[in-house]
Amino acid sequence: MERRVPSWLLPSGLGVLVVGLVAIALMRGQVSLDPETPEGTVQEYLLAVDGERWDDAIEIIHDDWRGGCEGSDIDSFAPGDFNAELGTHGGMSGRMTEESFVAVGEENEVAPTPTVPDDAKRVEVTIHHDSGGLGSGWSEPVTFELVEEEEFWWITGDPWPFFTWSCRG
């Protein structure tokens, strides 16, 4: 006598597997990166922005790149709800370049931004924004540029959310 596998067994098994994988994905907590690495520095910066700890966030940006900004200046450009993921998934880079500039002074002089060193470490992150709906929102790839000085990784450039151009001069 031939034994047949019930037709419902395979779809049920796959369903249980999918539910298990989703549960594991949802239970995964935030990964803590070593704060003495460029990736950990970016994580600390993003956690400070997310927690609206503007003074903590601005302290991670290299003095040459703050452009006269204070922590409260980030608040004007705060992104709202977001989460970040290490690595980018296609799209254009959100990196500012050394050709960036802003107009300052009464005579509309041009104040060039400092040049990012060639040996800067680049950390790519994908920022996911929540629009409030089920699964709605958008993502943007962002490249943070960091330099190591005095045994600390400093963020250079105009870091996301891009704001330092507004107080440079």
pLDDT tens for residues 10-67? 777 666 665 655 555 555 556 788 888 999 999 999 999 888 999 999 999 998 888 7
Number of structural domains found in the chain: 1
Residue 56 falls inside a structural domain: yes
- pLDDT on residue 153: 95
**Portion of the chain with pLDDT greater than 90, in percent:** 18
| Least confident residue range of 32-36, 68-72, 99-103, 112-116 | 99-103
Q: Predicted confidence band at 90 (pLDDT cuts at 50, 70, 90)? A: very low
Between 6 and 140, the more confident residue is 140
- Mapping DSSP to helix (H, G, I), strand (E, B) and coil, where does residue 110 land? strand
What average pLDDT score do residues 127-142 get? 77
CB atoms closer than 10 angstroms to residue 16: 10
Residue 90 falls inside a structural domain: yes
Outline where DSSP puts E strands in the chain.
82-86, 101-104, 109-112, 121-130, 137-149, 152-156
Q: Which pair of tokens denotes residue 104?
A: 């300052």
Structural domain containing residue 48? 35-167
Whole-number Å distance between alpha carbons of 143 and 98 = 14
Q: Do residues 126 and 89 touch, judged by C-beta distance below 8 A? A: yes
Nearest to 70 by CA among 81, 56, 80: 56
Residue 121 falls inside a structural domain: yes
- pLDDT on residue 88: 62
Specify the CATH number for the domain of residue 155: 3.10.450
pTM > 0.85: yes or no:
no
Residue 50 falls inside a structural domain: yes
| Least confident residue range of 7-11, 35-39, 137-141 | 7-11
